[in-house]
Amino acid sequence: MNILITRPLIDSEDLMKQFFSMGHKIIHLPTLKISSANMDPVDPNNFDAFIFTSVNAVRNLILLNQDRDKPCFCVGAITEKIARQSGFTQTFSAGGTINALKNLILGSNAINKKSKIIYFCGDNITFDLDIELKKEGLKIKKIINYHSEKIVDLSDQNKKIIENYPPNVIFVYSSRSAQSFIEIVKNNSLYPLMTESKVMCISKKVAKLFILDGWKKIEVFSPGEELLGLQR
């Protein structure tokens, strides 16, 4: 099976190794470039809890000291894993969606309405989590600590690989990544090679972008369930 993965290498290397060990052909086509944002170091002593909506928010965190024992709310299991690897000891994982994260925070006994919470995210978000939590009476400070830039160029080498090995399955992990991928496909007239491709989308919102663009085989998967997606 030919599998195309659109995530940056740092986020997909382990998964690609798993697929490769199973005998699959891997096509790596990252559709986003992640870079750190200019920000002042944060003093964790000024806050009672942390919120992370992606692994990149954790990776680009800059703290004045290593006090990482405060409650840390993560959008999903992978983000929580990276947070723990970064030294956070009191982590909570939502079900992989922003709404689930919002409900997790509102239902937590680890904070209250007097708590000062700092929320780290990228510059392209589709849900104003800080605004929604403020409506519920929580004190939230949002800090953008990384940028995501769409990659819409396709190298001659990658184009040749796709032409020689049309993907059976395509994994897409965000709306912005979906937009980039669709643009790459259109700009390079690749859709005729992918009419039978199954697009695995991280959410219904991502899936909707492919539906609107006319793709036929679309499924939604949860983070960490990529292997199960191949079996469906």
Nearest to 40 by CA among 145, 147, 146: 145
Confidence (pLDDT) at 220? 93
Give me the chain's average pLDDT, please. Answer: 93
Confidence (pLDDT) at 228? 76
Is residue 125 pLDDT above 90, yes or no?
no
**Which tens digits make up the pLDDT trace of 18-66?**
999 999 999 999 999 999 998 889 999 999 999 999 999 999 998 888 7
Percent of the chain having pLDDT more than 90?
Answer: 78
Confidence (pLDDT) at 89? 95
Tell me the Cα Rg of the chain: 19
Is residue 226 pLDDT above 90, yes or no?
no
Q: What pTM was estimated for this model as a whole?
A: 0.86
DSSP letter (8 states) at residue 71? -
Confidence (pLDDT) at 109? 95
Percent of the chain having pLDDT more than 70?
Answer: 99
DSSP state letters, 212-229: HTT---EEE--TT-HHHH
Q: Which of 81-85, 95-99, 111-115, 200-204 has the lowest mean pLDDT?
A: 95-99
Confidence (pLDDT) at 95? 79
Task: Give residue 214's region: left, alpha or beta (phi > 0; psi -120 to 50).
Answer: left
DSSP letter (8 states) at residue 38? P
Q: Map out the domains of the chain with their CATH numbers.
A: 2-32+150-231 (3.40.50.10090), 39-148 (3.40.50.10090)
Distances in Å between the Cα of 224 and the Cα atoms of 12, 29, 140, 201 are 11, 19, 29, 12
Whether residue 36 contacts residue 186, with contact meaning beta carbons closer than 8 Å, is answered with: no
Whether residue 45 contacts residue 65, with contact meaning beta carbons closer than 8 Å, is answered with: yes
pLDDT confidence tier of residue 223, bands split at 50, 70 and 90: confident
Confidence (pLDDT) at 140? 96
Entry field: residues in the chain: 232
Whether residue 178 contacts residue 208, with contact meaning beta carbons closer than 8 Å, is answered with: no
Nearest to 64 by CA among 36, 42, 92, 49: 42
